[in-house]
């Protein structure tokens, strides 16, 4: 019955979203002057009629993708002409792209009869609604109870339980070993993020069960905290109402616009450059640092672990798209290299190499404020910032803190076909193993 209901909802959603995004296009421009880049950055922060699918870069010639609704296309053409900025149409009709993605999901469900949500029959090569993701966490923990514990991170604004996994191998000898934090799905429409996180986690667990040496060393000596889908409300909304929804679903006082960008809401250097104070903006920073319960849940949980004596070696927030590995700092406009810059770039290079050796995909890497425009209140800065008693402006002190932007580079954007899920989690699995190997070396193991 649940399977039939889900298929019915998928068909209904395809019809709805086709109408909602009919005529919407994604335009790509490549600013080459400081004036053009500054102008685009201003547009991103202040004009909510244009949905920036990729952020403005400081690197001349790097592309910027913008979804443009039909009644704004003439206006944007005029603005671009004034700025002497050319563009090309990357996606001619967003509704067609999304409909194709949903058709592929439905076809896979029908042909493979993957209607259950037990992890033993879980289809890692398809996208899943939030309840299936949550059940996957619980089932994975139950079926691997000797090494995995499911933890309730907290509830979302709309009351949904948000679960994560803590993986600790049977060979662990320390009650508070060094730890790694991975989270996915902080931006609702980035479906490839939760799918990739679940996929590479499953592969690592399989390797551990088979006695593979690197996986066993990783799990026996480091705790791995993994939350596949953090923005539960927003993710559900992308399945039921608006496929391209990005933010949370909390209301904003005095505004008809709903939601905050959770990746501008972290309690380290919140409210500065690169975060909008306009509630309708896609980069709205929220009413205060940690105003979003989803962010507050993470901060509280990690601070509790730190207070118990557990230190974090790495913090990774998985996003899409652009194929980038982005390190702190993001909030500074100058002097933005951290004290650990050399090691952070070396780690990023090793991960990028592992990715390329898997499926030949190139992931560029660099410091956020250097390769993109500065942004404040981001997860990667929070992850790296020192842990202090000041909960309103500190982090967890993870040396290796990154935002990883997954596939692709713009052909499909946020509507990445399901047939790219497996290669995505396979290449990130390789990157995680590279990270784990380097962390073990630094621990002297």
pLDDT truncated to tens, each residue of the chain (445 aa)? Answer: 455 555 555 555 555 555 689 999 999 999 999 999 999 998 988 888 899 999 999 999 999 999 999 999 999 999 999 999 999 999 999 999 999 999 999 888 877 654 444 445 899 999 999 999 999 999 999 999 999 999 999 999 999 999 999 999 999 999 999 999 999 999 999 999 999 999 999 999 999 999 999 999 999 999 999 999 999 999 999 999 999 999 999 999 999 999 999 999 999 999 999 999 999 999 999 999 999 999 999 999 999 999 999 999 999 999 999 999 999 999 999 999 999 999 999 999 999 999 999 999 999 999 999 999 999 999 999 999 999 989 899 999 999 999 999 999 999 999 999 999 999 999 999 999 999 999 999 999 9
No. of H helices and E strands in the chain?
13, 12
Per-residue pLDDT at 109: 80
Question: Phi and psi at residue 77, in whole multiples of 5°?
Answer: -60, -45
How far, in Å, CA of 260 to CA of 292, rounded?
7
Helix (H, G, I), strand (E, B) or coil at 395: coil
Give pTM, 2 decimals: 0.94
Q: For the chain, what are the domain ranges?
A: 23-92, 120-442
Cα-Cα-Cα-Cα dihedral sign, residues 135, 140, 143, 144: negative
What is the number of other CB atoms lying within 10 angstroms of the CB of residue 425?
Answer: 24
- Superfamily designation of domain 120-442: Zn peptidases (3.40.630.10)
Q: Provide the token pair at 379.
A: 């997860």
How far, in Å, CA of 445 to CA of 436, rounded?
11
Per-residue pLDDT at 117: 47
- Please give the order of strands across the beta sheet that includes 50-52: 50-52, 64-68, 25-29, 87-91
Q: Is 296 a residue of the active site?
A: no
Per-residue pLDDT at 116: 47
For 145-154, what is each residue's pLDDT tens digit? 999 999 999 9
For strand 179-184 and strand 364-367, is the pairing parallel, antiparallel, or unpaired? unpaired
Alpha helix stretches (DSSP H) within 113-211: 130-143, 192-209
For strand 223-227 and strand 161-167, is the pairing parallel, antiparallel, or unpaired? antiparallel
In this structure, are residues 166 and 148 in contact, taking their beta carbons and an 8 Å threshold?
Answer: yes
The angle formed by the CA atoms of residues 186, 89 and 247, to the nearest 5 degrees, is 15
Best CA proximity match to 371, nearest among 62, 40, 42: 62
In this structure, are residues 358 and 426 in contact, taking their beta carbons and an 8 Å threshold?
Answer: yes
Q: From the candidates 44, 132, 294, 405, which is the catalytic residue?
A: 405
Q: Provide the token pair at 354.
A: 């592992």
3-state helix vs strand vs coil in the chain, percent to 5: 45, 15, 40
For 332-356, what is each residue's pLDDT tens digit? 999 999 999 999 999 999 999 999 9
For 86-98, what is each residue's pLDDT tens digit? 999 999 999 999 9
Q: 23-92: what fold?
A: Alpha-Beta Plaits (3.30.70)
């Amino acid at each position: 019955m649940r399977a039939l209901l889900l298929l019915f909802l998928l068909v209904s959603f395809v019809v709805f979203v086709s109408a909602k995004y009919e005529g919407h296009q994604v335009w790509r421009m490549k600013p080459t002057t400081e004036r053009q880049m500054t102008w685009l950055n201003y547009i991103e922060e202040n004009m909510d009629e244009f949905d920036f699918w990729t952020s403005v870069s400081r690197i001349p010639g790097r592309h910027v993708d913008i979804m443009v609704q039909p009644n704004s296309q003439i206006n944007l053409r005029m603005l671009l002409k004034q700025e002497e900025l050319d563009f090309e149409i990357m996606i001619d009709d967003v509704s067609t792209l999304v409909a194709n993605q949903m058709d592929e999901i439905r076809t896979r469900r029908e042909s493979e009869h993957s209607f259950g949500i037990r992890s033993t029959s879980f289809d890692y090569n398809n996208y899943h609604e939030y309840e299936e993701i949550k059940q996957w966490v619980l089932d994975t923990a139950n079926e691997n109870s000797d090494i995995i514990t499911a933890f309730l991170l907290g509830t979302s604004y709309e009351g949904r339980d948000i679960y994560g996994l803590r993986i600790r191998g049977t060979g662990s000898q320390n009650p508070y070993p060094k730890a790694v934090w991975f989270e996915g799905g902080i931006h609702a429409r980035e479906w490839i993020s939760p799918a990739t996180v679940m996929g590479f986690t499953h592969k690592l667990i399989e390797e551990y069960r088979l006695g593979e040496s690197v996986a066993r060393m990783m799990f026996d000596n480091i705790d791995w905290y993994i939350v596949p889908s953090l923005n539960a409300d927003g993710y559900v909304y992308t399945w039921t109402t608006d496929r391209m929804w990005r933010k949370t679903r909390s209301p904003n006082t005095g505004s008809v616009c709903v939601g905050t960008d959770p990746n501008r809401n972290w309690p380290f250097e919140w409210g500065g450059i690169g975060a909008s104070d306009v509630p309708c903006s896609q980069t709205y920073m929220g009413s205060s640092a940690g105003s979003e319960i989803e962010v507050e849940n993470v901060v509280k949980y990690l601070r509790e672990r730190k207070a118990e004596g557990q230190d974090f070696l790495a913090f990774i927030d998985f996003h899409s798209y652009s194929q980038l590995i982005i390190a702190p700092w993001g909030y500074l406009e100058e002097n933005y290299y951290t004290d650990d810059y050399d090691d952070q770039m070396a780690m990023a290079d090793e991960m990028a190499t592992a990715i390329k050796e898997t499926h030949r995909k190139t992931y560029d890497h660099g410091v956020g404020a250097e390769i993109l425009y500065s942004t404040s209140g981001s997860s990667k800065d929070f992850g790296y910032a020192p842990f202090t008693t000041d909960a309103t402006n500190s982090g967890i002190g993870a040396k290796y803190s990154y935002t990883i932007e997954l596939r692709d580079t713009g052909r499909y954007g946020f509507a990445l076909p399901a047939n790219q899920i497996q290669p995505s989690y396979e290449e990130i699995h390789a990157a995680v193993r590279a990270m784990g190997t380097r962390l073990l070396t630094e621990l002297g193991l």
